[in-house]
Amino acid sequence: MDERAVPDNYLFTAEDNDRARALNLMCASLVRPESRETFLRDEAAYCDSYDLSAEQKQAVLTRDWAGMLDLGGSIFFVYKLAVVCGVSMQDLGGIFTGMSTQEFKAALDAGGRRFG
Partner 1 sequence: MAEIIWGLATSHVPSIGAAHDHGRRDDPAWKPLFDGYAPAQEWMAEHRPDVAIVVYNDHANAVSFDAIPTFGIGTASRFPVADEGWGPRDVPEVVGHPGLARHLARSLVDDGFDMTVFSRLEVDHGLTVPMSVYCPDPGEAWPCPVVPVLVNVIQYPQPLASRCLELGHAIGRAVRHYPEDLQVAVFGTGGMSHQLAGKRAGLINEQFDREFLDKIQTDPEALARLTREELIDKAGTEGIELIMWLVMRGAMADDIRRVHDTYFVPASNTAAALALFANETSLATATH
Determine, following the binding rule CB under 8 A, whether residue 80 of this chain makes contact with partner 1: yes
d(CA 59, CA 28): 16
Distance CA 82, CA 86 (A): 6
| ∠ CA 51-86-56, rounded to 5° | 20
- Exactly one of 37, 48, 51, 97 binds partner 1 (CB under 8 A); which one? 97
By the rule CB under 8 A, 10 interacts with partner 1: yes
Among 55, 67, 84, 101, binds partner 1 (CB under 8 A): 84
Q: How far is the CB of 51 from partner 1 (least distance, A)?
A: 15
Q: Does 93 help bind partner 1 (rule: CB under 8 A)? A: yes
Q: Please check whether residue 52 is in contact with residue 26, taking contact to mean a CB–CB distance below 8 angstroms.
A: yes
Residues 6+ apart with CB under 8 A from 18: 72
Residues engaged in binding partner 1 (CB under 8 A)? 1-3, 5-6, 8-14, 17, 21, 24-25, 27-28, 30-33, 36, 66, 69, 74-77, 79-80, 83-84, 89-90, 92-93, 96-97, 104, 107-109, 111-116
